[in-house]
Amino acid sequence: LPESGVPQLVEPMIWDYTADFDVESKVLLIEKYRRCGFSKVWFASAFKGATGVNQSLTLIGHHLKNHLQWLKVASNSPADVIQGIVLTGWQRYDHFSVLCELFPVGIPSLAVCLQALKNGGYSEKVKENAEKLLGMSNLEMDTFMR
């Protein structure tokens, strides 16, 4: 792979939308990419639309946990290898399914996830910032918004 020249042309993206993925395996994968000649990698998370085909509301806690796992990967990896993170928001769970979790119901999750990434973790202050930005008094993290 290094002799092919591909590592100078592309930057791999590591995708994982689960709330409890194995951080160490991602760190090892990054190191494997580096040994193959890739100098930068991207992460791909989801703030909505990745938890079930029939999901109509966004469970913020699931997506927040996913982003906290990515922060752990970042903190356990060389800083110069991480190019960034893409927050995906899927309208369909797969290409053959009906629409799920339309954008408006995912906005609170997006706000919380962005605040967590911006602040390097989650705290009551992060939640308060998201609530203030959204004009909401109480974000529900582990139940569906009413």
List all residues 6 or more positions away from 113 whose beta carbon is below 8 Å from its beta carbon: 45, 47, 63, 64, 67, 87
d(CA 71, CA 10): 23
Instruction: Give the residue among 37, 32, 121, 33 at the shortest CA–CA distance from 75.
Output: 121
d(CA 121, CA 115): 8
Domain boundaries, the chain: 1-132
Q: What is the pLDDT of residues 110-143, one digit of tens each?
A: 999 999 999 999 999 999 999 999 999 888 887 7
pTM: 0.92
CATH number at 1-132: 3.20.20.80
- Residue 95: pLDDT band by 50, 70, 90 thresholds? confident
